[in-house]
Amino acid sequence: MKKTLLFCLALVLGLSACSPTLVPPEAPTLQPEKVSGEEEKNITPAMGTPLSDEEATRLMYELANSDSQQAVDTILKAEDTRFIAVFIELLRINQMGVFGNIGFNAPLEALEILSGQSIGYDWFSWVEWYGNTDLVPPPGFTGWKGQLLAQIDPEFEAFLQDDYPSAIRTEEIVWGGVKVDGIPALDNATMIPAAEADYLIGDEPVFGISINGDNRAYPLRILDWHEMANDVVGGVPLSLAYCTLCGAGVAYDGRASNGEEYTFGSSGFLFRSNKLMYDRQTRTLWNQLTGEPVLGELVGSDIKLDLLPVVVSTWDAWLAQHPDTKVLDINTGYNRPYSPGAAYGHYFIDEDTMFPVWQRSNLLPNKDRIYALEIEDIPKAYPVEILAKEEVVNDTIGKTEIVLIASRGEVTVTGDSQRAGEVFYNAGGEVRAYVRIGEIFSPTQNPDTVLDSKANIWQITEEALIGPDGELAPRINGHLAYWFGWYSFFPQTLLYEQP
């Protein structure tokens, strides 16, 4: 289903066969070097005498503009494996029926000859195979791909430009099935008092955010349809970036490290089944999971967004802890079936991914929920199931002593998916992390407190653990994610295992 869904989306968007004209650049621009620090990849397939850069760029555009068997023959004769990326793009674009003038078999035949692989029409598997190679595309590939995808949405071309610096392989950027802002962000959406939120169910999940005493709840049943909320909480500009595909709701401070303030939308693009968000000020693409720009004018500037505190809790639990909380109004101005599980319930119960992810680990099932921390540039993942059983986990990352608290257990959802009917799935758990300043903590009967090694009671708050004499153990900001989503960007991650 995952492989056919993408092509059905093209029909939903009303795409039709057409004969576009892609215009090659006057002087092709070489691609930037690939991002470093990833796992060792497969050896590049053998390559004969390659075409010149100018000839390669010309043939790339010719392939998109005409049914040119001569161009294919020239590429195959040169054994130019740079065109594997080109033929993978054409294979998918043909399967979606965007172009009517390219032979359906030509990309596949050329792919299998150049790569030595027999994968067939399975675009999903081609992308995963390619990700595990060190292949590079022809010069000008990014701009060519931008023009190609502009047949779906003209705005796509502005994101994919050859002269933009890139921190990722643009070959791995895939269309997610919607146009730019086809999943609309909520901007300063109306918040209402808890007493007026009669649409909520007590055990349904909410994102809970508390900054400077301003407590707010963002129900997942609404954020499932929007995946981004730009807001101001406690005087702090915030972007709650939610990737439903990788299970991560990350709260970012909109005030970036360069002193500028950014708000974000959904680009319609994915990278390893993670949404690529874009800032509205420069239209640079950003990695939703890391808060870093990956393609556009801000790349290379060392800009990064700081994390803000966020938890996934049940509505009842969040309200009990924060009786003055405000909550997102269900009247958002958009016509969506805002019920639990309606948008992605079918995906949440499926162990597979909807889009290609080549960098995986079998240490945990793909969609096991983990709590992710990165401290001293050391990433570590904590299975929520283990945290919920232990309730309090004392650990050390690098030289930082930490404690993770999950005393309210896991959050589960019974919902009604538009595609799968009634569904039951795990939405994570209410996890918070703190610096433990030399203490060893343990759980109590009260989920709002912990004990230190001297049996003193500490209060759990959003800002810190507070000791009996006013001592503070400050909060460390992290977030939930699916295991596959975290590992795909942090293959060097440590994994907490139950003692």
Are 432 and 417 in contact by the 8 Å Cβ rule? The answer is no
Least confident of 35-39, 316-320, 404-408, 415-419: 35-39
Please indicate, yes or no, if residue 360 is contained in any of the structural domains: no
Cα–Cα distance between 219 and 274 in angstroms, integer?
A: 21
Can you tell me which residue has the tokens 């269309």? 175
> What does the mean pLDDT of the chain come to?
91
Are 141 and 171 in contact by the 8 Å Cβ rule? The answer is yes
For residue 11, pLDDT over 80 is answered with no
Q: What is the pLDDT of residue 283?
A: 97
Same domain, 19 and 166: yes
Please indicate, yes or no, if residue 432 is contained in any of the structural domains: yes
Same domain, 209 and 124: no
Same domain, 195 and 320: yes
> With pLDDT > 70 as the criterion, what percentage of the chain qualifies?
89
Give Cα 215 distance to the centre of its chain: 26
Give residue 42's pLDDT band: very low, low, confident or very high (50, 70, 90): low
Same domain, 293 and 420: no
Please indicate, yes or no, if residue 358 is contained in any of the structural domains: no
For residue 5, pLDDT over 90 is answered with no
Same domain, 167 and 190: no
Are 318 and 206 in contact by the 8 Å Cβ rule? The answer is yes
Same domain, 316 and 420: no
Does the predicted model carry a pTM greater than 0.75? yes
Please indicate, yes or no, if residue 313 is contained in any of the structural domains: yes
Q: What is the pLDDT of residue 20?
A: 59
Same domain, 146 and 55: yes
What mean pLDDT is predicted for residues 245-258? 96
Helices (H), 192-338: 220-223, 315-321
Same domain, 117 and 84: yes
Please indicate, yes or no, if residue 359 is contained in any of the structural domains: no
Pairing of strands 392-397, 400-405: antiparallel
Same domain, 53 and 160: yes
**Per-residue pLDDT reduced to its tens digit, 433-491:** 999 989 999 999 999 999 999 999 999 999 999 999 999 999 999 999 999 999 999 99
**Per-residue pLDDT reduced to its tens digit, 47-77:** 567 799 999 999 999 988 876 788 999 999 9
Query: Residue 232: what are its φ and ψ, rounded to 5°?
Result: -125, 120
Same domain, 205 and 336: yes
Are 159 and 283 in contact by the 8 Å Cβ rule? The answer is yes
Dihedral sign from CA coordinates of 319, 323, 326, 331: positive
Q: What is the pLDDT of residue 96?
A: 82
Question: Of 174, 208, 240, at which residue does a domain stop?
Answer: 174
**Per-residue pLDDT reduced to its tens digit, 165-188:** 999 999 999 999 999 999 999 999
Same domain, 21 and 164: yes
Total domain count for the chain?
Answer: 3
Are 454 and 326 in contact by the 8 Å Cβ rule? The answer is no
Range of the domain at 412: 369-495
Please indicate, yes or no, if residue 160 is contained in any of the structural domains: yes
Cα–Cα distance between 315 and 322 in angstroms, integer?
A: 10
Please indicate, yes or no, if residue 299 is contained in any of the structural domains: yes
**Per-residue pLDDT reduced to its tens digit, 83-142:** 999 999 999 988 887 655 444 456 899 999 999 999 999 999 999 999 999 999 999 999
Question: Of 174, 201, 218, at which residue does a domain stop?
Answer: 174
Same domain, 411 and 343: no
Q: What is the pLDDT of residue 159?
A: 98
Are 382 and 364 in contact by the 8 Å Cβ rule? The answer is no
Question: Of 152, 174, 196, at which residue does a domain stop?
Answer: 174
Please indicate, yes or no, if residue 285 is contained in any of the structural domains: yes
